Amino acid sequence: MSVVGVDLGGTKILARVVDPATGRTVGRKKVPTPKDGTDAVMSAVAELVRDVTASVADGTAKGVSAEDAAEAVTAVGVGVPGLVEADGTVSRCPNIPGWDQPVAVKTILEADLGLPVVVSNDVNCGAVAEHRLGAGRGTDDLLAVFVGTGVGGGLIINNQLVVGERGMAGEIGHLTVVSDGRICGCGERGHLESYAGRAGIEREARRLHAAGRPNALVELAGESPIKSRHLEQALAAGDEVAHQLVDDAVMALAIGIGNVATLLDLSRVVVGGGVADKLGRPFLEQIMGSPDFGGFGPQVCTLELAQHLDDAGVLGAALLAADLIEN
Amino acid sequence: MSVVGVDLGGTKILARVVDPATGRTVGRKKVPTPKDGTDAVMSAVAELVRDVTASVADGTAKGVSAEDAAEAVTAVGVGVPGLVEADGTVSRCPNIPGWDQPVAVKTILEADLGLPVVVSNDVNCGAVAEHRLGAGRGTDDLLAVFVGTGVGGGLIINNQLVVGERGMAGEIGHLTVVSDGRICGCGERGHLESYAGRAGIEREARRLHAAGRPNALVELAGESPIKSRHLEQALAAGDEVAHQLVDDAVMALAIGIGNVATLLDLSRVVVGGGVADKLGRPFLEQIMGSPDFGGFGPQVCTLELAQHLDDAGVLGAALLAADLIEN
């Protein structure tokens, strides 16, 4: 048995044929995300699934064995950067151009492909990948936190992904960590993401710069967005504002992660995403050693770096597809 | 089928024979908790279960019908104010005299009674009672918060009680809500319980009193512990310190409950315990209306008063016992 995982992103669509028992990738393909509406996006996903499946079946995919080629694809998992309802409809998906109303992704793709399809939030897919094939292996309960432009999270309890009634579970980025604190991208105050997400760090760096505290982050990035590598470089150069902003991010993550670990009695939390990947293990050590490490965090839980980076979404989507067949 | 629920408390042990389909109590008995060690406590529990069962079977329990008397008791649930491990051992139980080492409650009672026994934390039992037969009915996912001397919580996800790897899940009282805030009874700083629990409120009221801010809470209670009714009376009298301390409690509960509702995508949270029961609906309205209502709290969730007060533990224990038979 093989399954296909798809990661539907704002700029590209990735697909892989995966052996779900091992997580091994048998074939892979990608295409740019169409910019002309969700009908075109849905057609592109279906076409990509057919292409990558055919490339394995006919042996043209790199390194594919005769055994691999003989395995039938039995299900498809799709990770999307949006809000997924229980019936596989994606009601909001702001990063994909033209997604201005709900799209019944599961229904459309099942009709087109003739295979069972599961649709899940891409961050949740990442959590599933880390839980089964990454740094969360061996746990029954896991929080995976992804620190990038924003801060997302996925929760596994009793080896099951927790999605919540409205598909919104896991939103650790929008936990309040500072009463009446910084304004978040969502408009509320004091949320974790406003301190630990790259966009929140950038807003604060530019505000300080404009307010008379010039800093290496703004100088390195210029007019372009501040990247994780700028953060890394500014820290290495001893830039005071960069250090302060990373300390703020550590405080926010320490409170939020410690609290979730306390609430759910977690012994392990996996931390990934571009910022965590660049700052690496010392960043996690700083969170675990922080006086702000919340609740019983210091007594109950350790943080581990995520093992999958760009492929966590596509891999997790494939694993969820395999569940469709096994359950 | 009938089941027996037991609530093992620091001063008394309650037992009820319950019809699990309706939650109706068929018979009830209680005894004081023995003060001379855990062997005596275990014997008292077993004896009480036999007594209450016999009082139903022989028709001496008040209002018991012939049908009730004919129903066999098939399982026993025990709620304890301590840390329950996966095998039904209670490793810590500080409120019961002499509980200075782990006791294999499930094993001991099963051997004594010859019936299947489930052991659970009493707060978790309360959450189960509210979920199935109280203010949480109709939800798949629920947080129940009990605001009394301390602040405890129980979590239901996908209609299952979440206990966590070490049996510590649901500890909302020890979420950090104020960085570097008040010292909690557990020794850490800024935990929800230190602001919202009666013991935390009392510590702060006495500290303020001693520091030159005399207040009605200390005046009403004198040398005795400050009770929920003193809080109610002091508020009604317009005492400034009491209002400030309740505002602090509201802030802490608003951050903590809003954050948990956001993380788990909860649409309902049940709030019970002595403080919530005394202050009632206006207290919940104040939490929901607070600018500190955390995360997406205001958008996603409503708070409801618990419907069970002193009987939540015994009822929830009985419901968990029924699960032993049905699963």
All domains of chain A in start order, with CATH? 2-128+310-326 (3.30.420.40), 138-305 (3.30.420.40)
List strands edge to edge, sheet with A24-32: A24-32, A12-19, A2-8, A73-80, A117-121
B191 touches chain A (CB under 8 A): yes
B83 touches chain A (CB under 8 A): no
A1 band by pLDDT with thresholds 50, 70 and 90:
confident
Q: Closest-CA residue in chain B for A294?
A: B176
Tokens of A135: 């740094």
pLDDT digits (tens, 9 = 90+) for A33-91: 999 999 999 999 999 999 999 999 988 888 888 888 888 899 999 999 999 999 999 99
CB B297, CB B287: distance < 8 Å: no
A234 touches chain B (CB under 8 A): no
- Å from A154 to nearest chain B CA? 9
Collapsing DSSP states into helix, strand and coil, what is residue A308?
Answer: coil
Enumerate the residues of chain A whose CB falls inside 8 A of the CB of residue B176.
255, 258-259, 292, 294-295
A15 CB contacts (<8 Å, ≥6 apart)?
Answer: A4, A5, A6, A7, A28, A29, A30, A45, A48, A49, A51, A52, A314
- More reliable by pLDDT, B101 or A70: B101
- Å from A279 to nearest chain B CA? 24
Q: What is the DSSP string of A239-290?
A: -HHHHHHHHHHHHHHHHHHHHHHHHHT-SEEEEESHHHHHHHHHHHHHHHH-
Query: Who among B260, B263, B267 is closest to A170 (CB)?
Result: B263
Looking at residue B327, its pLDDT comes to 63
Q: Closest-CA residue in chain A for B193?
A: A295
pLDDT digits (tens, 9 = 90+) for A269-325: 999 999 999 999 999 999 999 999 999 999 999 999 999 988 999 999 999 999 998
A235 CB contacts (<8 Å, ≥6 apart)?
Answer: A242, A243, A246, A279
**Average confidence (pLDDT) over B51-79:** 90
Q: Closest-CA residue in chain A for B153?
A: A263
B248 touches chain A (CB under 8 A): no
Spell out where B44-139 has E strands. Answer: 73-80, 83-84, 90-92, 117-121
- Å from A247 to nearest chain B CA? 14
pLDDT digits (tens, 9 = 90+) for B6-44: 999 999 999 999 998 888 999 999 999 999 999 999 999
Cβ distance of B264 and A300 shorter than 8 Å: no
Could you report the predicted ipTM of this complex, rounded to two decimals?
Answer: 0.94
Cβ distance of B296 and A157 shorter than 8 Å: no
**Average confidence (pLDDT) over B240-253:** 98
Amino acid identity for residue B59 in this structure: G
Q: Closest-CA residue in chain A for B295?
A: A175
Q: Closest-CA residue in chain A for B297?
A: A175
B326 band by pLDDT with thresholds 50, 70 and 90:
confident
User: Whose CA is closest to A304, among A144, A123, A132?
Assistant: A144
pTM for this model (two decimals): 0.95
pLDDT digits (tens, 9 = 90+) for A227-277: 999 999 999 999 999 999 999 999 999 999 999 999 999 999 999 999 999
Rounded to whole angstroms, the Cα distance separating B317 from B102 reads: 20
Cβ distance of A296 and B174 shorter than 8 Å: yes
Looking at residue B67, its pLDDT comes to 85
Rounded to whole angstroms, the Cα distance separating A138 from A273 reads: 21
Cβ distance of B263 and A294 shorter than 8 Å: no
Chain mean pLDDT for chain B: 95
Enumerate the residues of chain A whose CB falls inside 8 A of the CB of residue B163.
265
pLDDT digits (tens, 9 = 90+) for B308-318: 988 999 999 99
Enumerate the residues of chain B whose CB falls inside 8 A of the CB of residue A168.
262, 265, 296, 300
Cβ distance of A175 and B140 shorter than 8 Å: no
pLDDT digits (tens, 9 = 90+) for B151-186: 999 999 999 999 999 999 999 999 999 999 999 999
CB A288, CB A304: distance < 8 Å: no
Amino acid identity for residue B77 in this structure: G
**Average confidence (pLDDT) over B57-80:** 89
Cβ distance of B264 and A169 shorter than 8 Å: yes
B170 touches chain A (CB under 8 A): yes
Rounded to whole angstroms, the Cα distance separating A105 from A110 reads: 8
Rounded to whole angstroms, the Cα distance separating B288 from B104 reads: 42
Amino acid identity for residue A96 in this structure: I
Give the H/E segment covering residue B311: none
- More reliable by pLDDT, A22 or B221: B221
B296 touches chain A (CB under 8 A): yes
A327 band by pLDDT with thresholds 50, 70 and 90:
low
Cβ distance of B164 and A262 shorter than 8 Å: no
Enumerate the residues of chain A whose CB falls inside 8 A of the CB of residue B264.
155, 162, 164, 169
B94 CB contacts (<8 Å, ≥6 apart)?
Answer: B82
Cβ distance of B165 and A259 shorter than 8 Å: no
Cβ distance of B155 and A266 shorter than 8 Å: no
Looking at residue B211, its pLDDT comes to 97
B63 band by pLDDT with thresholds 50, 70 and 90:
confident
- Å from B33 to nearest chain A CA? 30
Q: Point out which residues pair with A145 in neighbouring strands.
A: A153, A271
Q: Closest-CA residue in chain A for B166?
A: A265
- B259, B287, B292: best to mutate for the A interface, most A CBs within 10 A: B259
Query: Who among B164, B170, B176 is closest to A255 (CB)?
Result: B176
Count interface pairs A-B at CB distance under 8 A: 123
**Average confidence (pLDDT) over B236-243:** 97
Rounded to whole angstroms, the Cα distance separating B88 from B121 reads: 10
A241 touches chain B (CB under 8 A): no
Cβ distance of A179 and B176 shorter than 8 Å: no
B274 band by pLDDT with thresholds 50, 70 and 90:
very high
Which letter, b or e, does each residue of B268-283 get, where b requires 16 or more Cβ atoms within 10 Å of its Cβ? bbbbbbbbbbbbeeeb
Rounded to whole angstroms, the Cα distance separating B215 from B240 reads: 8
A51 touches chain B (CB under 8 A): no
B309 touches chain A (CB under 8 A): no
Enumerate the residues of chain B whose CB falls inside 8 A of the CB of residue A302.
none
Looking at residue B21, its pLDDT comes to 87
B134 band by pLDDT with thresholds 50, 70 and 90:
very high
